[in-house]
Amino acid sequence: MKTVDSFDFSNKKALIRVDFNVPLNERLEITDDTRIQATIPTIKKILSDGGSCILMSHLGRPKNGPEDKFSLKHLVAPLSLILGVPVKFADDCIGQQAVDMAGDLKPGEVLLLENLRFYKEEEKGDVAFAEKLSKLGDVWVNDAFGTAHRAHASTAIIGQFFTDKICGKVMQAEIDNAQYILESAEKPFTAIMGGAKISDKILIIERLLDTVDNLIIGGGMTYTFTKALGGNIGKSLLEADKQELALEILKKAKEKGVNIIMPLDNVCADDFSNDANRQIVDTGFIPDGWEGLDIGPKSIELFKEVIKKSKTILWNGPMGVFEFPNFATGTNAIAEAVVAATEENNAFSLIGGGDSASAINNAGMGDRVSYVSTGGGALLEYMEGKVLPGVAALD
């Protein structure tokens, strides 16, 4: 696999698939530029070599062609500021204007194309659409790990039209860190799995049972485990058809000598809202009409103790409904514990994208862990052992 650092981009037009799918507020201002910041080293390396950059990305999920709120034109000013060079903008990602602007691009210049997903052909992996995009550059760089698990036109199909297919710095870092976790993790290795559903995490949990020492389970999925073990979960989230699977996971963990750590107590509410009435109850004793929305103080102390002694930590998924401030305590406490282990115990910590990345970045602690993944679903699929189309296309 060719890498950005090993390639000379002098006088080359680099067509770069980036992941600029960033959150915008109602004034169409970026509220979290983590994904943009992550791609800057790739862009700057190409520019410093004397190359030019043509950036292509999606933003949001437009349903029927162009929509102003999904236009990448809203990113031009902040991107120009971050890069320190004026970024040009093409109103389309294919067509004559895009061809002309890409053709006129000089070394050191940057062009941003309009949202790829304004065309349905992008997500369909349309070969003809991919070929049109390929005409804009001399070399293709894929730096969008967050979409590497999709066989879309710009993330995978386009590779067949280039001799020089190059792995961007974000992509490289994501693969390297995931490989380290899977193959070289220092012991004790603790995985923290949160989120709503066992079904979303079953494959990664089964893979991790072969390598981890401790598996901490939190978030909505814990209530399916609790119910399967005979506990009362009130009206908490439940995957009724996954109770046998939950018991099977516990059985496998025991057979493999993995220490499974589940919550001792829960913060429950009488309504799914931030302002609901709250009470703390022991696990398995949630009253009827109440639902668990966070882990309780005893669980926090137990989890922190395990994390503190770990040398490798993988965290994927929040401990509760962290979008509600009153139920974010558990998730924030885990973020603090992971940071403490990283800084005080020299642990390697990988935050597995998605909600976990949002939680640690929102707490202002993203730069105090070893690595924050930009790809939630892509990272999970890679660690499950699946071949990612966007990675395979670079070979």
Q: What residues are labeled active site? A: 35, 197, 354, 377
Give the distance, in angstroms, between the CA of residue 173 and the centroid of all CA atoms in the same chain. 13
Question: Cβ of 1: how many Cβ atoms within 10 Å?
Answer: 12
Left if phi > 0, otherwise alpha if psi is -120 to 50, otherwise beta: which for 377? alpha
The answer to whether 145 and 375 have CB atoms below 8 angstroms apart is yes
Instruction: Compute and round to an integer the Cα radius of gyration of the chain.
Output: 23
Question: Cβ of 16: how many Cβ atoms within 10 Å?
Answer: 25
380: helix, strand or coil: helix
The H or E element containing residue 140 is strand 139-142
328: helix, strand or coil: coil
Dist CA 332 CA 137 (whole Å): 44
Beta bridge partners of residue 140, listed in sequence order = 15, 165
Closest among 49, 163, 109 to 394, alpha carbons compared: 163
Q: How far apart are the first and last CA of the chain?
A: 5
Residue 206 structure tokens? 């089964």
151: helix, strand or coil: coil
Contacts of 249 (CB under 8 A, 6+ apart): 198, 202, 205, 206, 209, 225, 260
The answer to whether 310 and 349 have CB atoms below 8 angstroms apart is no
